[in-house]
């Protein structure tokens, strides 16, 4: 049996929130999720300061080989339940938001956020372990500190405040964001914990640290963004301390309920308060750059095209109008 985890301290646990949206290929899945187990998840003693700002449901969008496809029937109100293999539920109110962002790249998001004055949003060291997957979902934060010998022991894995307890508090559809301080010689956790996350329908995992049991992790189908792999367990270099608290991951501040978008270029954090304000701009930027690529493929030269001058803008607007 592998020990996949970290050293831990002691605490209660955060309020369970749920809901998920899966996107696969050309079909999308929307739903609103009930908790994965009947028991209340463990709570962190500090979470009351954060949790009131969090929504009662999280609706991620996922696309990739491991995602099942389903449709969303918006006829019922206020909540429509559509069951799928991976994400059983989605709220109609957020479904369109996440579905739109599922078509937006992290490259586009960093440009849009830069225009809003945010430069430090890309999590350094977090790259996809498997190609071809994109995840959009709310952040569930997990925090490690450097290992301390009296705390970082295998016995700590049974503590009430452990990675196991944090994992059981993760709501359906969240993206776990794990602050490992960039340490790369101890895996934050491995295949067993990732298998449990997949079973709980967690949308994905993003960390500036490394994983262990890499083949097994990949076999779970859980989308993971990490700095690589290492054989030693977490307690060899890390002490687990808390969850659902503000963290720094890859040099970026991440708060519970921030939006995480991750793809082949890595993972980007969109502050919760800015999400609604960037969606339209991001979707429009993707559309515009798609048109630019068509023009380049048709032989157009870049001066006056990208950046666009007034003539190019007029042609683009005409193209949009033709498409309705």
pLDDT tens digits, one per residue of 172-203: 889 999 999 999 999 999 999 999 999 999 99
Q: Is residue 15 a part of any domain in this protein?
A: no
Q: Is residue 13 a part of any domain in this protein?
A: no
Helix (H, G, I), strand (E, B) or coil at 161: coil
pLDDT at 69 over 70: no
% of the chain residues with pLDDT over 90: 60
Q: Is residue 64 a part of any domain in this protein?
A: yes
- Mean pLDDT score across all residues of the chain: 77
Q: What is the DSSP letter of 126?
A: -
| Domain shared by 33 and 49, yes or no | yes
Q: Give 212-249 pLDDT, tens digit per residue.
A: 999 999 999 999 999 999 999 999 999 999 999 999 99
pLDDT number for residue 96: 75
Parent domain of 124: 22-270
The larger pLDDT score, comparing residue 276 to residue 218, is at 218
Q: Is residue 8 a part of any domain in this protein?
A: no
pLDDT number for residue 194: 97
| Domain shared by 311 and 192, yes or no | no
| Domain shared by 162 and 86, yes or no | yes
Q: Is residue 11 a part of any domain in this protein?
A: no
pLDDT number for residue 53: 36
Q: Give 103-128 pLDDT, tens digit per residue.
A: 999 999 999 999 999 999 999 999 99
Helix (H) or strand (E) holding 292: helix 275-297
| Domain shared by 157 and 249, yes or no | yes
pLDDT number for residue 93: 58
Contact, 206 vs 175, CB < 8 A? yes
| Domain shared by 132 and 238, yes or no | yes
| Domain shared by 190 and 249, yes or no | yes
| Domain shared by 109 and 165, yes or no | yes
| Domain shared by 121 and 202, yes or no | yes
pLDDT number for residue 265: 97
| Domain shared by 164 and 95, yes or no | yes
| Domain shared by 100 and 71, yes or no | yes
**Among candidates 86, 47, 66, 56, which has minimal Cα distance to 255?**
47
The larger pLDDT score, comparing residue 97 to residue 170, is at 170
CATH of the domain at 118: 3.50.30.40
pLDDT at 73 over 60: no
Q: Is residue 242 a part of any domain in this protein?
A: yes
pLDDT number for residue 108: 97
pLDDT at 59 over 50: no
Q: Give 3-57 pLDDT, tens digit per residue.
A: 444 444 433 343 333 333 333 333 333 322 333 333 444 444 444 333 333 333 3
What's the token pair of residue 160?
Answer: 């009430």
Residue 292: pLDDT band (50, 70, 90) is: very high
Q: Give the 3-state secondary structure percentages of the chain, helix then strand then coil, rounded to 5.
A: 30, 20, 50
Quote the number of domains for the chain: 2
112 Cβ contact list (under 8 Å, min separation 6): 278, 281, 282, 285
What's the token pair of residue 197?
Answer: 């996350």
| Domain shared by 185 and 220, yes or no | yes
pTM of the model: 0.73
175 Cβ contact list (under 8 Å, min separation 6): 60, 135, 137, 138, 139, 140, 202, 203, 204, 205, 206, 260, 262
Q: Give how far Cα 140 sits from Cα of 81, 169, 177, 245, Å.
A: 23, 9, 6, 9
Q: Is residue 95 a part of any domain in this protein?
A: yes
Contact, 89 vs 19, CB < 8 A? yes
130 Cβ contact list (under 8 Å, min separation 6): 64, 218, 223, 224
């Amino acid at each position: 049996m592998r020990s996949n985890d970290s050293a831990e301290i002691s605490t209660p646990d955060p309020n369970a929130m749920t809901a998920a949206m899966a996107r696969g290929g050309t079909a999308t899945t929307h739903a609103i999720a009930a908790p994965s187990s009947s028991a209340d998840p463990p709570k962190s003693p500090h979470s009351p300061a954060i949790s009131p700002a969090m929504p009662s449901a999280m609706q991620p969008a996922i696309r990739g080989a491991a995602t099942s496809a389903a449709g969303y029937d918006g006829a019922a109100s206020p909540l429509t339940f559509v069951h799928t293999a991976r994400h059983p539920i989605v709220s109609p109110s957020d479904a369109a938001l996440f579905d739109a962002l599922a078509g937006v790249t992290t490259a586009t998001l960093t440009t849009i956020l830069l225009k809003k004055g945010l430069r430090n949003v890309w999590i350094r060291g977090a790259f996809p372990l498997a190609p071809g997957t994109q995840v959009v979902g709310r952040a569930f934060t997990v925090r490690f500190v450097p290992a301390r010998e009296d705390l970082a022991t295998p016995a700590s894995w049974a503590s009430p405040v452990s990675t196991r307890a944090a994992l059981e508090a993760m709501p359906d559809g969240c993206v776990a964001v794990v602050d490992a301080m960039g340490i790369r010689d101890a895996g934050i956790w491995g295949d067993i914990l990732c298998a449990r996350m997949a079973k709980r329908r967690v949308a994905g995992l993003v960390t500036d640290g490394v994983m262990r049991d890499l083949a097994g992790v990949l076999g779970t189908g859980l989308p993971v963004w990490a700095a690589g792999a290492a054989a030693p367990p977490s307690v060899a270099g890390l002490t687990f301390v808390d969850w659902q608290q503000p963290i720094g991951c890859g040099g970026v501040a991440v708060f519970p309920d921030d939006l995480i978008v991750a793809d082949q270029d890595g993972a980007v954090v969109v502050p919760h308060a800015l999400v609604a304000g960037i969606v339209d701009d991001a979707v429009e930027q993707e559309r515009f750059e798609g048109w630019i690529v068509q023009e380049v493929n048709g032989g157009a030269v870049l001066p006056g095209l990208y950046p666009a001058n007034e003539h190019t803008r007029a042609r683009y607007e005409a193209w949009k109008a033709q498409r309705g």
